[in-house]
Amino acid sequence: MTKAIVIGAGVGGLATAIRLAKKGYAVEVFESNDYVGGKLSTFNLGEYRFDAGPSLFTMPQFVDALFELCEEKPADVFQYSRKEVACRYFWEDGKRLTAYGDTDRFVKEVEDKLAVPAATLKRYLSKAKKKFDRTRRLFLEHSLHKWQTFLRKDTLIGIANYFSFEIDTSLNRVNTAQLKEPHLVQFYNRFATYNGSNPYKTPGMMTLVQHLEQHYGTYIPKKGMGDISASLYALAKRMGVSFHLSSPVTEILIENKKAVGVRVKEETHAADLVVSNMDIVPTYRKLLPNQKQPEKTLSQERSSSAVIFYWGISKSFPQLDLHNIFFSDAYKQEFDAIFKTKTLYQDPTVYVNITSKDVPADAPVGKENWFVMINAPHNTGQDWTAMTQQLRAWVIAKLNRNLDTDIAPLIEEEWVMTPEIIAQRTQSYLGALYGASSNDKMAAFLRHPNFSREISNMYFCGGSVHPGGGIPLCLLSAKIVSDLIPTP
């Protein structure tokens, strides 16, 4: 039986393993941690359960597709529900905005709270939808690095509409020109952080990201975000995939410019093809050190990272929902700190995710599990201990002001994740959450392909390669890889 080895059991690696098993490969997955899921994993602090990483679930059809591919009914093994409220937003000047999942209701909310005419927002959302519809197949569903992709009819239509993509201007400029109202501009600028970028530099093309959330909605798995990984892990095992946990790959074996297996500690494991779900930089630097290094790709500016406080809070806050954002009063300065001076800003934007709002078992009755994330620079050797202590004080002060409550005495469980820890636990280069940033207008084309041009039978999936980071794109990377690999 033809054998495939997948390096890394992140969500992209799990999805790739499932797809290759369905194609008829004997699949083995090697994972350095003693758990699967990568960033999408879970842990407990006392009586509180936390999702370690991604907290936003959109486009669940890509998860469902894996069960359907394996002739299973998704609802039998993985349940989720759509959120009525996508997120609640808080500004220091007292403005409040509820981002409803229903578009008409959201448009009315914006008109009522921010005095932005409905026609203005509908026109903006319509333009974002057109960008997505014209580029989804080129940027998301096929390899950008195969000439056949550019001969497709839908690709040619997309190229013909190049100027409508607003690639040559920044997301902030597009939002300012089309929306004008500063709170709404900041609201939509935030979507640049979905792939770790700077809204004052990333191209206007990025308005299509907000279309995905508004059009397709936001969801919550019945058992929490970690159930995405857990359910795919169980599906992979049902498909016959073998997993080796606590088994870090130390080398990808290459013979005559062909991937032929991997080395794990002192043992070699032969294979007919290898797929790396590991970040592309350490894949080359550590596992392929003697092969030609794609320096232009590997040297791209890294995305932002995060500092995450995991707090068990001994109180319930009815004014909060699953997703909550407390905005900085000086957004540009915050991004200058993250991307230019590589430090933390004194008035940070704070994201608070509370899964116990929808998964009551995640916290004791009357209490809540707070995942408190602040965008941060990637790790360049900063003193994260000192920076995190200062940040904690800033964050608590900000939450105190906005919630009119003293938060500190309510924290009865606590752990903190820094970019340094993210790099150690997930092998993400410099702790960057999304691989390369999308601050350059050519960033999508500079991401590493899902295959190697130099090494046959060598493939790549996950957030650091095409099409990018985040759960939906990681799942799409697995499909692209599977489509590139022939049936045995």
pLDDT digits (tens, 9 = 90+) for 124-159: 999 888 887 777 665 655 544 544 544 455 544 555
> Per the domain annotation, does 333 fall within a domain?
no
Per the model's pLDDT, the better-predicted residue between 211 and 91 turns out to be 91
**Span 271-300, average pLDDT:** 95
**Span 228-233, average pLDDT:** 97
> Per the domain annotation, does 354 fall within a domain?
no
**Span 276-284, average pLDDT:** 96
Count of domains in the chain?
2
Percent of the chain with pLDDT over 70: 92
pLDDT at 67 over 90: yes
120 shares its domain with 151: yes
Q: Which of 166, 193, 216 is the last residue of a domain?
A: 216
Query: pLDDT tens digit string along 436-474?
Result: 888 876 665 678 889 999 999 999 999 999 888 889 999
**Span 381-407, average pLDDT:** 97
Give the confidence band of 173 by pLDDT, cuts at 50, 70, 90. Answer: very high
pLDDT at residue 2, as a whole number: 97
User: In 3D, which of 306, 144, 138, 132 has the Cα closest to residue 209?
Assistant: 132
Give the confidence band of 308 by pLDDT, cuts at 50, 70, 90. Answer: very high
Average pLDDT in the chain: 91
Per the model's pLDDT, the better-predicted residue between 393 and 211 turns out to be 393
pLDDT at residue 195, as a whole number: 86
240 shares its domain with 212: no
Query: pLDDT tens digit string along 193-219?
Result: 988 999 999 988 788 777 778 888 999
**Span 367-374, average pLDDT:** 98
Buried b (16+ CB within 10 A) or exposed e, 379-412: beebebeebbeebbebbbebbeebbeeebeebbb
> Per the domain annotation, does 135 fall within a domain?
yes
> Per the domain annotation, does 124 fall within a domain?
yes
pLDDT at residue 467, as a whole number: 87
> Per the domain annotation, does 324 fall within a domain?
no
pLDDT at residue 440, as a whole number: 76
pLDDT at residue 141, as a whole number: 54
Q: Is the peptide bond before 467 cis (omega within 30 degrees of 0)?
A: yes
Residue 99, CA distances (Å) to 87, 93, 191, 399 in order: 5, 18, 13, 20
What global pTM score does this model have?
0.92
> Per the domain annotation, does 52 fall within a domain?
no
Domain that holds residue 245: 3-39+223-300+438-484
> Per the domain annotation, does 404 fall within a domain?
no
Q: Which of 183, 216, 249 is the last residue of a domain?
A: 216
- We report the CATH number of the domain holding residue 290 as 3.50.50.60
> Per the domain annotation, does 244 fall within a domain?
yes
